[in-house]
Amino acid sequence: MIHHRTSFLVLTALVIVGFAFRAAAPANPPQELTPPSELALMMRAMAAHADSVKAAVNRGDDLPRYPKAFKGLPKAQPTKGMHIDPITFPTFAKDYQNKLGRLYKVKGSERQQAYNALVQSCANCHGTHCPGPLMRIKKMYIAAE
């Protein structure tokens, strides 16, 4: 008997906690009803990576670990029905990867410039594919002093 009561209480507590978390979670945009594509997930990781590079460059810290996963960018599956241009998309993807490689090669004093070139490569692809994040990308540059 005591067992049943305990598990009922535990269950009630879990339900309450569950609701609390749901209420705290931000409302999802409509496209989140279907899981994000492989490409969309990679983009979120690329944006997060760029944000941490920016913070590191501004503080003069070491760069975050080199993100090997972004090698898969040219082949990542986009959202169903999204038009991916067979010529320009791989070209822009390669350009992003070149800028990423360069960022990790240059000396500290050239990192700001290399980071801004990386952000420019994001903006270039987004000029022709998926313009939605362009506003966010434009705010990612490190302003010249």
Question: Site residues (CB under 6 A) for ligand HEC?
Answer: 36-37, 39-40, 43-44, 46-47, 50, 78-79, 82, 89, 92-93, 96, 121-122, 125-126, 129-130, 133, 136-137
- In the complex with ligand HEC, which residue's Cβ is closer, 9 or 69? 69
Q: Which is nearer to ligand HEC, 106 or 124 (CB)?
A: 124
Nearer to ligand HEC by Cβ, of 47 and 106: the residue is 47
CB of 65 to ligand HEC, least distance (A): 16
For residue 134, the tally of other CB atoms under 10 A from its CB is 13
